[in-house]
Amino acid sequence: MRLPATLRTLHALPPFPKVINFLDFVDGYIARFKTTKILPDSETAEVFDLYGKVADVYPRHDSELVSSHNDLKPENILFDGDRVWLVDWEAAFMNDLYFDLAVVANFIVTNDAEEEDYLRRYFGQPADAYIRARFYLMRQVVHMSYSMVFLLLGSSGQPIERDAEVPDFRNFHDAIWAGDVSLAANESRVLYGRVHLKQILRNMQTERFRDAVRIVSGRHVSA
């Protein structure tokens, strides 16, 4: 209930000085990942093919850039019982307004009703079909970025063992939020990357994903 208002306040700040195109950043990590062969192509081909649909339609160069934190993991969100505080601003720069929204949502939004309330509190009115579609696609961008970064970081660019069972995304994220899972060890980082990879594939195989691609594509093709 409180975090959407906190993000709205953050995004209304005067422009931060540094601008990075985040989708270009993710594309770079995907290219690097593909050259390392951390996972065999048979395990990633469908993910990258479906993600290509996001990369093709998501607006990279529009005017909806805002001052963003860009690293809103639980350790960087403090609550004193009255007010939310955001800390650790090393990654802050101008970014798509949906990025911070998506990062936080991946931790705290667990169903459609919570998503509706979360977006309404941020935008000050019920979210229309375009907002919901763009938000959903940005959540997939976040999954992909976290997957690529943590797999590369945890594996040091070497092929990984794939025997361990990949946990459910929500259970794993809840454990991070509660402080029960640390991402300091490379083994945990690899597992976290695989958790995101598993979740993005599941999300992109849905009717909602296909609808989101169609809605966002239709808005920007017509524009």
Instruction: Please give the CATH architecture assigned to the domain spanning 3-222.
Output: Alpha-Beta Complex (3.90)
> Cα dihedral sign for 212, 216, 218, 219?
positive
Q: What is the pLDDT of residues 21-50, one digit of tens each?
A: 899 999 999 999 999 989 998 889 999 999
> Encoding tokens for residue 18?
């540094």
Q: What is the pLDDT of residues 62-104, one digit of tens each?
A: 777 999 999 999 999 999 999 999 999 999 999 999 999 999 9
Cα(116)–Cα(126) distance, integer angstroms: 7
Q: What is the pLDDT of residues 116-167, one digit of tens each?
A: 999 999 999 999 999 999 999 999 999 999 999 999 999 988 888 877 789 9
Cα(158)–Cα(36) distance, integer angstroms: 7
